[in-house]
Chain A
Amino acid sequence: MTLLLPTPTRRAFLTSAAAFGASAVLSVSVNRTARAAPGKTPSAIAFDGNALIVGGAGFIRRDDGGVSTPLPGPKSGSILSLATHNDRAGRIVAGLSNGGVALSEDGGQSWEARSQGLPEAPVVAVAAASSNPETLYVSVHGDGLWKSEDAGRSWVFAMDRPWLADAERDLTALASVDLATGMGGIWLYAGTGLGLTRVPDCFCRWQDVQPGDAMDALVSGAAPAPEAPLPTGEPIHALVSAASVPMRLYAALPSGVWASADAGVVWVQRSSFRTDAVAVHPNNADQVVALTEDGLIQTRDGGLSWTPLANN
């Protein structure tokens, strides 16, 4: 179990925010890999249509022909997290190491800040609601989950961090999963330093992932133990749900890429390289790119076989 990110209480965090900001960024990169200089390494990947986008200290757009174009990226900090939505081609949402969110509407050519109302702390994870591309979620380090219903123009605090093993845990990954909760909405899945959790998008309560919807959990009382959960206590670096098959999830863990075909009840390990980020093609749930210590690798068969992606 690696838990290098300090998990201060929110109050402690706010008072030491200035001093802490720098060290948090550093420990994020240390946590992610111990390769090149911190900040130089990519931290996040996503698909924008057929193009793969890679964010870190800079920003790279790689078209499906394999041609990579380096772009300046947001001015206000390096990228820790990325999100796109299949109904908004060209729109990219980036969570920044210096705090705040930057948004591009042109595939990463130009960026504008969408940080109004957000606390100044690293935005560790970002997701667009699968049911509505204007709705965005971000995880703010040391703080909690924030929500925007107008593509980042304004933000409200949605929910505090989950309480796991006697402490609040930062959300290290977010994925909106288009699966009914039984409470009139869909699920937001999240990764923490200790594993997987989820909350209905009414933000009532964090709960463990289990078969059935939130209602079943309440009715049956005792939750049946998941049959093949992710390895206990392992941090989740990234989490995605395939837009074309929402129940299909991929998770990036230190032990590799893991896949689930049933929205997170049963997981299968699909690679054994330490993985820091993962992206799934919006129209092909079997096409997945993973960011590993040795660079980007790709599968077109759901993770049965992987090949390196050249040019990264």
Chain B
Amino acid sequence: MKRMMLLLSAVAFSGLTAIAAQGQSQSTGTQAEDLTVLGYPVTDEQITLGRQVYAQNCASCHGAELQGQPNWRRRLENGRMPAPPHDESGHTWHHSDQDLFDITKLGVGGVVAGYESDMPAFEDILSDEEIAAVLAFIKSTWPERQRESQARVTAKAGGGA
């Protein structure tokens, strides 16, 4: 039943994600080759799952094409920051795999003490596998330069395993 749901939603979302995929294919495509997440090689299935998780849980704020909210460098009236892009124009690729995992699981407020943020904690919504998958998908959209830079940050932080 679960798989059934997944397949059905995959069809429903293919429209949305096609847009995202188009943007990426110019730079890198979404091949899993040479990409790791949290110390493990990324698989095509993971990227497929991650794309769905992204469309359902992240796209509403971070944008269907990972482009972020408009004017995302400017603070909102309430003092909080808008959702930044997850593509190479943002700063997601400056964080290690483990940081990205923690931020997604616990929210930014959950990892930076005393920091108020609109980034929700996904610990009660997504499994660890789904979080890893969405990060794999996000990473798969990055050009080589961002991938390499982020791999170095991850390695320095202790391999991200």
Instruction: Mark A residues whose CB is within 8 Å of B.
Output: 9-10, 144, 157-161, 163, 166-168, 182-185, 200, 202-205, 207, 215, 217-219, 221-223
Distance in angstroms between the alpha carbons of A215 and B112 in the assembled complex: 10
Q: Can you name the residue of chain A whose Cβ is closest to the Cβ of B74? A: A160
CB-CB under 8 A for A183 and B153, given A205-B108, A217-B112, A221-B113: yes
User: Which residues between 108 and 146 of chain B lie within 8 Å of chain A, taking CB atoms?
Assistant: 108, 110-115
* Minimum CB distance partner of A164 in chain B: B79
Let me know if A163 and B75 touch, CB within 8 A.
yes
By beta carbon, the residue of chain B nearest A201 is B94
13 A-B pairs besides A168-B75, A183-B96, A218-B103 with CB distance below 8 A are: A161-B75, A163-B80, A184-B150, A184-B152, A184-B153, A200-B94, A202-B94, A203-B91, A205-B81, A207-B112, A215-B99, A217-B113, A223-B114
Are A160 and B153 CB-contacts (below 8 A) given A204-B94, A218-B111? no
| B102 at the binding interface (Cβ < 8 Å) | yes
Closest to B153 in A: A184
- Determine if B94 and A185 form an interchain contact, defined as CB atoms under 8 angstroms apart: yes
List of B residues within 8 angstroms of A167 by Cβ = 79
Which of A160, A202, A215, A217 has a CB less than 8 Å from the CB of B96? A215
Q: Which residues of B contact A158 (CB under 8 A)?
A: 73
The residues in B between 62 and 103 inclusive whose CB is less than 8 angstroms from any CB of A are 73-75, 77, 79-81, 84, 91, 94-96, 98-99, 102-103
Give the Cβ gap from B148 to chain A, nearest Cβ, in Å. 10
| B-chain residues with CB within 8 Å of residue A159 when the two chains form the complex | 73
Q: How many Å from the CB of A48 to the closest CB on chain B?
A: 32
In the bound complex, do residue A218 and residue B79 qualify as a contact, i.e. CB atoms below 8 Å apart?
A: no
User: How many residue pairs, one in A and one in B, have C-beta atoms under 8 Å apart?
Assistant: 65
Tell me the complex Cα distance, A265–B94, Å: 24
Known: A160-B81, A184-B149, A218-B99. A202 touches B91 (CB 8 A): yes
Point out the residues of chain A lying under 8 angstroms from B94, CB to CB. Answer: 183-185, 200, 202, 204
Contact B79 A163 (CB under 8 A): yes
Q: In the complex the two chains form, what is the Cα distance from A144 to B81 in whole Å?
A: 14
User: Contacts A166-B79, A168-B79, A202-B94 hold; do A182 and B113 have CB atoms under 8 A apart?
Assistant: no
Q: Is the CB of B113 within 8 A of A204?
A: no
- B2 CB-CB contact with A under 8 Å: no
Chain B residue with Cβ nearest A160: B75
User: Could you say which residues of chain A place their CB within 8 Å of the CB of B84?
Assistant: 204
Q: Which one of A166, A218, A223 lies within 8 Å of B102 (CB-CB)?
A: A218
Instruction: Identify the interface centre among A9, A185, A218: most chain B CB within 10 Å of its CB.
Output: A218
Shortest Cβ gap from A98 to chain B (Å): 24
B113 touching A222, Cβ below 8 Å: yes
Determine if B11 is an interface residue (Cβ-Cβ < 8 Å): no
Nearest residue, chain B, Cβ from A217: B112
Which residues on the A side are within 8 Å of B156 (C-beta)? 182
Q: Does B157 contact A (CB under 8 A)?
A: yes
Q: Which chain B residues border A204 with CB–CB below 8 Å?
A: 84, 91, 94-95
* Minimal Cβ-Cβ distance residue in B for A181: B94
Q: Smallest CB–CB gap between A131 and chain B, Å?
A: 15
> Bound state CA distance, A204 and B108, in angstroms?
11
Q: Which residues of B contact A215 (CB under 8 A)?
A: 96, 99, 157
Contact at B75–A183, with CB atoms within 8 Å? no
**B79 near A223: Cβ-Cβ < 8 Å:** no
Closest 3 CB pairs of A and B: A202-B94, A160-B75, A183-B94
Q: Which one, B73, B96, B150, contacts A157 given CB within 8 A?
A: B73
B98, B99, B102 — which one has the most chain A CB atoms within 10 A of its CB?
Answer: B99
Instruction: List 16 A–B pairs whose Cβ atoms lie within 8 Å, in order of A's numbering.
Output: A159-B73, A160-B73, A160-B75, A161-B75, A182-B157, A183-B94, A184-B152, A203-B91, A205-B108, A205-B112, A205-B115, A207-B115, A215-B99, A218-B111, A221-B110, A221-B111
Closest beta carbon of chain A to B20's beta carbon, Å = 23
Residue contact B95 to A183, C-beta cutoff 8 Å: yes
Determine the distance from Cα of A108 to Cα of B103 in the docked complex, in whole angstroms: 47
Min CB distance A30 to B, Å, is 27
